[in-house]
Amino acid sequence: MKKGLVFLGPPASGKGTQAQRLAEELEIACLSTGALLRSALSVGSPLGEKAKPFLDRGEYVPDEIMVPIVIEWVSNQSEGWLLDGFPRTVHQAEALDRALESNQPQAIVLHVPDDELRKRVIRRLECESCHRVSRSGDDEFCPDCGGLLNTRDDDSPEKFESRLSEFHRLVFPTIQYYCDRGRARIVNGVGSLDDVWRRVRI
């Protein structure tokens, strides 16, 4: 199995956009756990029903729900893979490492100051069909698939602040976990999409 990547960053940092672009460049599979959960919620699947109480409160979905789903997905990727937004806790990172043994992933971490994140989230839109992220002021339809662009439910001010707080509490230690093992690269996430992309792909 080719080596994998994990892509981490706070909400509204642009990690979903950059992660997808990197996966396409490297020609590897990409799993966005956020998009997976929002899709499951919208169709009322068993995963969506389990995740709904946590998403409604702007909290991360517990490890016992997410870890088995992600590890099963990773185990089916033989040509390399990228995880967008996972692992979000040290326990998830440890579980992923145990599952992969000697083939443990590298982490790419987008760093964006909190004040910049708050400015971004006010303008963020997402395609209801393919989940491409755009900004208000763009066309009301997705340039990729033609789906309707709309504000995400979890981008309300209250839910965003809750998610940002959860990021600081849970994901910062996870980033430190990868840094301590020499498996993290911190990327400045401020600037245009193309500016950040040039830093990501170096």
Cβ neighbour number for residue 87 with a 10 Å cutoff: 27
The crossing angle, in degrees rounded to 10, of helices 63-75 and 46-56 is 130
Q: Is 15 a catalytic residue?
A: yes
**Candidate list 21, 120, 132, 152, residue with the active-site label:** 152
**Candidate list 21, 38, 120, 124, residue with the active-site label:** 124
In the sheet that 5-8 helps form, which strands lie side by side, from edge to edge? 29-32, 81-84, 5-8, 106-111, 184-188
List Cβ neighbours of 163 (8 Å cut-off, separation of 6 or more). Answer: 11, 58, 59, 60, 154
C-alpha to C-alpha distance for 143 and 10, rounded to whole angstroms: 25
Q: Is 163 a catalytic residue?
A: yes
**Candidate list 15, 21, 38, 159, residue with the active-site label:** 15
Q: Is 38 a catalytic residue?
A: no
C-alpha to C-alpha distance for 55 and 45, rounded to whole angstroms: 14
Assess whether the previous peptide bond of 46 is cis (omega < 30° from 0).
Answer: no
Task: Tell how far CA 150 is from the center of its chain.
Answer: 19
**Candidate list 21, 120, 159, 163, residue with the active-site label:** 163
Q: Quick one: which H or E segment has residue 5?
A: strand 5-8
Q: Supply 121's token pair.
A: 């989230």
**Candidate list 21, 38, 88, 120, residue with the active-site label:** 88
| Catalytic residue numbers, as ranges | 15, 88, 124, 152, 163
